[in-house]
Amino acid sequence: MSGNLNFRISSALKDILGRDLITDDFIAVFELVKNSFDAHARQVTIRFENIQAGNGKIIIKDDGKGMSYDDLINKWLFVAYSAKKEGTEDYDFDYRSNLNNRVFAGAKGIGRFSCDKLGKQLYLETTKNDIKSKTEVLLTNWEKFEGDLREEFVNIDVLHDTKNRSDFGLKHGTVLVIEELRSEWDRKKYLKLKDSLAKLINPNAGNAEEDFKIIIEVPEELEGDMSFSEGYQKVNGEVRNFIFETLGLKTTKISATISEDGNYLWTELTDGGTIIYKIKEKNSFPFLLNIEIKLYYLNLSAKQVFARRMGISSNHYGHVFLYKNGFRIYPYGEPGEDPLKIDYRKTQGFRRYLGTTDLMGQIEIFSNTEELKETSTRGDGLIKTPTYYQLVDFFWEILRRLEKYVVDVQQWGVSIEDGNSNDINGRVVDLLAKLTGKEDLIEFEIPSNFFELIEISQINSADAIIDKLNNLAAEKGDDRLIREVQNATVRVRDLKLAKEEAEKIAAIEYQKANEATAKLKEKISENLFLKSINTAEYEEVIALIHHIGIYAGTINNYLKGISLRIQNDIPLSKEDLNEIIKNISFETKKILNVAAFATKANFKLKTEDLEINLIDYIREYIQNIIPTVADNTLKISFEDYTSMPFIRVVKPIEINIVIDNIVNNAKKSRANNLKIELSESEKNTLLVKFIDNGNGIEENNLNKIFDLGFTTTDGSGIGLYHVKEILHAIKGKISVINNSQESGVTIIIELK
């Protein structure tokens, strides 16, 4: 028997295209908001009614172009058909040209099933933007599709009616009334929806913000909103996104754009308000065009500014978002999500690479290419095509350029605007010199003070740099650059002569200084320390010496490890040796810093009090510094359950000492796991828990461990005493809340 056959479609198709693909309520709302945007709505209102009463409904209303009876039949009820994708969506729409040439946000034809994700019943009312239009109504009971799976999809009825006018008073547009809600909603969830919607549309993308507004209305939360003055703390009101530039983040930023024709790549790096370089080069990513990346390095100051102005810490807000034609693609940038594997790479070198907590920014795709297309499974990002992998490569190229500056030039610290550091000026010059040697370089714009940087940087490298710039200027025919290079050559020659003369004078003065120092040492060798110091100062100095001992012990462990390898003929790779040397160098710097504090007047700690977000500071110290102190025998994990910044005035070095001592004690107790948790109590108190699996503390010693001189190990009995004193001074306290000699100790710090 031969002939043609046809597919049959089970009613189960509804779940496959809907609730199985649309994974959460927020994404479902996003899909419906996108539909309003694509319908050229000026405003969409999302209203929650009677939620607390138990018969709640969600009403999504827009003032878009609406749908006719034919649109309902041939578009809305035509499963998986997309007139947007086909290019016929606006065939009969005559005022599109007045609306900023919007690009469609969705084109899959399945977003309508988002209604099913939110509730079991859907009432749809729509009025076409046409003088003769009537109001069309559809009533859909989604549970009808969930009965007999052998029932054919097309045989299940959707009720229809036609009215003379809209029950909601709309001249044109669409209203969705979703009832018998499938999940619970509360204030926390409303605020999370509002926050997520704020990131849905990228205001930098050219879609004028005033052209499309999203409003949330929850009458039951109006009274709760009265307790807050800031808009982001209120449920009701307009959803507002922010533009990164308006935050005034005075930090390092890199932006990179691939041209619309895909031929060129422009990159600009700024440090605060100073342009470090602008370059134009040939695009080495042939599949990519019309794409822009902006990345911000969030130093401590930038994080504090963000928290003050946004009312939420940056790590709770998100990191690197991805937008296509102005609309966000999930899960890129979502806190806790890392589809670009940024943090995975960070774990391979905490001091070499930036992680999601160090970054904020966006990737913007300005095209409808099918090669960069959202997956049908909402929340799963883009389809993994060769073009997608090239986009990832492009992102990593730009991130590495930012890292090159933050790690190698700033060295995680000094900005070029922070002072007259010859070291950073010299490193900036070296970086620019290397960039001039790029093979694909077409144009190169240097900062206005570039030659001043040369003059105050390492003069020995200036000749080579000037030669490169001279060649570049000659190739490009840039007369201005040629003149500046010639002037710089003269200035560098004069500086060399001045340097040689200064070195001669310095040698003579150095000899005199040595002689004077020797005499001074003879006069103060009468044990000045023991004569002049009082009891409080003595305890402070001893504590600092104890802190130095921790760092010195870490160095000693590294050296023991090398010695054992040599004695037992165990090979040590060049990479491992380099890493050990860097770690020893870092510990040495920490010892020198503490020693510098200890040698100031009367050996007192004179660090300035700083206003910092303790949550961010503790997180960064644990993630960036502690891994260099703790050896491989102690695995440290970190969890942050806080939701708001915790701003306090403290001495950062004292916070370091507190953390270092507790970590060091966990190691002494033979723990191999230490979990550090941040949380908050209702009394505006920050809680820091240290949970280890070491040997624990004997019960009869619990009330002594914070006493000066008490120890059960070969330690000095100073560490926990000093921790208690530091915390007492900043109105904090420390206690042991769980203790077992078999399963370890939980220490909790409370900071008000």
Residues whose CB is less than 8 angstroms from the CB of residue 253 and which lie 6 or more positions away in sequence, other chains included: 269, 270, 294, 295, 296, 297
Q: In degrees rounded to 5, what are phi and psi of residue 537?
A: -65, -35
**Residues 53 and 150 reside in one and the same domain:** yes
pLDDT digits (tens, 9 = 90+) for 96-137: 444 444 444 444 456 678 888 899 999 999 999 988 889 999
Q: What pLDDT does residue 89 have?
A: 52
Q: Which residues contact 633 (CB under 8 A, 6 or more apart)?
A: 667, 672
- Choose among 114, 619, 201: nearest CA to 376: 114
Instruction: Read off the pLDDT band of 5 (50, 70, 90).
Output: confident
The rounded distance, in Å, linking the Cα atoms of 342 and 357 is 10
Structure confidence at residue 118 (pLDDT): 92
Tens digit of pLDDT for each residue in 250-276?
788 999 999 999 999 999 998 887 888
**What pLDDT digit, counting tens, does each position of 309-367 carry?**
777 788 888 899 999 888 888 889 988 899 999 998 888 877 789 999 999 999 999 88
CB atoms within 10 A of CB 469: 24
Beta-carbon neighbour count of residue 609 at 10 Å?
A: 12
526, part of any domain: no
The sign one gets for the Cα dihedral 381, 387, 391, 392 is positive
User: Is 199 in the same domain as 344?
Assistant: no
3-state secondary structure of 703: coil
Same domain, 231 and 375: no
Domain membership flag for residue 576: no
Residue 11 contacts residue 145 (beta carbons within 8 Å): yes
DSSP 410: S
Neighbours of 372 (CB within 10 A): 21
Local structure of residue 201 (DSSP, 8 states)? B
Residues 730 and 613 in one domain: yes
In a domain, 195, yes or no: yes
Question: Residue 421: what pLDDT?
Answer: 54
Quick: pLDDT tens for 471-510.
Answer: 666 766 666 666 766 766 666 666 566 656 656 766 776 6
Q: Residue 262 and residue 288: Cα distance in Å, rounded?
A: 6
pLDDT classification of 54: cutoffs 50, 70, 90: confident
- What is the 8-class DSSP label of residue 607? P
Same domain, 290 and 224: no
| Residue 31: inside a domain | yes
Report the C-alpha gap between 44 and 239 in whole angstroms: 11
102 shares a domain with 24: yes
| More confident position, 582 or 257 | 257
User: Which pLDDT does position 495 carry in this prediction?
Assistant: 59
Q: Is residue 459 part of a domain?
A: no
Please enumerate in sequence order all residues whose Cβ is within 8 A of that of 458, keeping only pairs 6 or more positions apart, or say none: 422, 426, 429
195 and 249 inside one domain: no
3-state secondary structure of 257: strand
State the sign of the Cα–Cα–Cα–Cα dihedral 723, 724, 728, 731. positive
- Residue type at 507 in one-letter notation: A
**C-alpha triplet 304, 308, 314: angle, nearest 5°:** 60
- CATH code of the domain in which 406 resides: 3.30.230
What is the domain count for the chain? 3
Residue 640 in domain: yes
Which structural domain, as residue segments, surrounds residue 335?
245-418
Check whether 714 has a pLDDT greater than 60: no
Q: Domain ends where: 189, 224, 241?
A: 241
* Final residue in a domain of this structure, among 370, 390, 418: 418
Both 235 and 255 in a single domain? no
In a domain? residue 698 = yes
Q: Whose CA is closest to 193, among 47, 291, 64?
A: 47
Domain termination residue (choose one: 395, 418, 441):
418
Report which listed range, 257-271, 398-412, 546-560, is most confident. 257-271
- The pTM of this model reads 0.58
Q: Which long-range contacts (CB under 8 A, 24 or more apart) does 704-712 make?
A: 705/736, 706/734, 708/539
Task: Please check whether residues 411 and 326 belong to one and the same domain.
Answer: yes
Whether residues 64 and 173 share a domain: the answer is yes
Same domain, yes or no: 165 and 76: yes
What are 407's two structure tokens?
Answer: 């790690």
**Residue 88 CA neighbour count, 13 Å, CB half:** 7
In angstroms, the Cα distances linking 285 to 264, 282, 322 are 10, 9, 18
Same domain, 233 and 87: yes
Provide the CATH number for the domain around residue 216.
Answer: 3.30.565.10
Is the residue at 532 inside a domain? Answer: no
